């Protein structure tokens, strides 16, 4: 069955939810890609997102993998355009208008008001991912360790993710 129209519909919708970061859309992404369309399962979604943290560039590039699975190369391209197109056009239009609004007092209100909501959405995405990723004491220890190290030292997060892969290899390999 041709999945391209569904891919475009889902990812252009998700695109508009990514206020403050890609993770804001994660709860909806899980429902739409896993439960509704069954392009992949929850574990795979978590794995792809996590591996994507080691890739350079925008941190939601795992959407390309989903597009490729569901619709081949064309699916990957469709997803890319659907996910980045709408917000790019919006940013482009706002770029022009926003500068003119410098004196508009509500501009600061909007920025100050959206800040906690976007952080909340990020945290909600984080929790919904943790449901699948934190499965026991060991995984909980790894995430807490990563959090504490990042808070304490200036270290590239991608390196920590890579190091956690090695830790995982030794910890979770069946004997």
Partner 1 sequence: MSDPGGKPALQTTAGATAAPAAVSIFQIFLEFLIIGATSFGGVVPYLRESLVTKRHWVDDKEFVEMLSISQSLPGLNATNMAVLVGEKLRGAMGSIAGILGMCLPGALLMFVVGIFYRIHGDHVWITAALKGVAAAAVGLLLYTVVNLSKKSLSHKFDFVFIAITVIAVNRLHLGVPRTLIGVGLMAILFHYPRKEQKASATP
Instruction: Kindly identify the residues of this chain, within the stretch 94-123, that bind partner 1 according to CB under 8 A.
Output: 94-96, 98, 102-103, 105-106, 108-123
> Is 158 a binder of partner 1 (CB under 8 A)?
yes
Measured distance CA(23)–CA(32) in Å, rounded: 14
Give the nearer residue to partner 1 in terms of CB position, either 8 or 52: 52
Rg value, the chain, Cα? 18
> Is 36 a binder of partner 1 (CB under 8 A)?
no
Q: Least Å distance between CB 167 and partner 1? A: 5
Q: Least Å distance between CB 6 and partner 1? A: 18
Contact with partner 1 (CB under 8 A) among 23, 34, 78, 82: 23
Give the nearer residue to partner 1 in terms of CB position, either 4 or 28: 28
- Please give the structure tokens belonging to residue 37: 């369309």
Q: Least Å distance between CB 4 and partner 1? A: 16
Cα angle for residues 6, 12, 16 (degrees, 5° grid): 145
Q: Least Å distance between CB 20 and partner 1? A: 6
Measured distance CA(85)–CA(82) in Å, rounded: 6
For 8, 78, 120, the CA distances from 3, given in Å and listed in that order, are 9, 10, 32
- Identify the helix (H) or strand (E) that includes residue 7: helix 4-15
Looking at residues 60 to 89 of the shown chain, list those that interact with partner 1 (rule: CB under 8 A): 60-62, 64-66, 68-69, 73, 76, 80, 84, 86-88
Q: Least Å distance between CB 5 and partner 1? A: 21
Contact between 149 and 155 under an 8 Å Cβ cutoff? The reply is yes
């Amino acid at each position: 069955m041709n999945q391209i129209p569904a891919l475009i519909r889902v990812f252009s919708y998700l695109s508009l939810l990514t206020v403050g970061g890609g993770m804001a859309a994660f709860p909806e992404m899980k429902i739409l890609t896993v439960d509704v369309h069954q392009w992949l399962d929850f574990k795979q979604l978590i794995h792809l997102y996590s591996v994507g943290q080691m890739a350079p560039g925008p941190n939601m590039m795992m959407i390309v993998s989903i597009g490729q699975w569901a619709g081949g190369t064309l699916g990957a391209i469709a997803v890319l355009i659907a996910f980045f197109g709408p917000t790019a056009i919006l940013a482009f239009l706002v770029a022009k208008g926003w500068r003119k609004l410098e004196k508009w007092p509500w501009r600061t209100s909007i920025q100050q008001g959206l800040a906690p909501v976007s952080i909340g959405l990020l945290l909600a995405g984080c929790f919904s991912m943790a449901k699948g990723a934190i499965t026991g004491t060991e995984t909980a220890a790894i995430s807490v360790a990563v959090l504490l190290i990042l808070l304490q030292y200036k270290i590239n997060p991608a390196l920590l993710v890579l190091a956690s892969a090695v830790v995982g290899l030794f910890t979770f390999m069946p004997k």
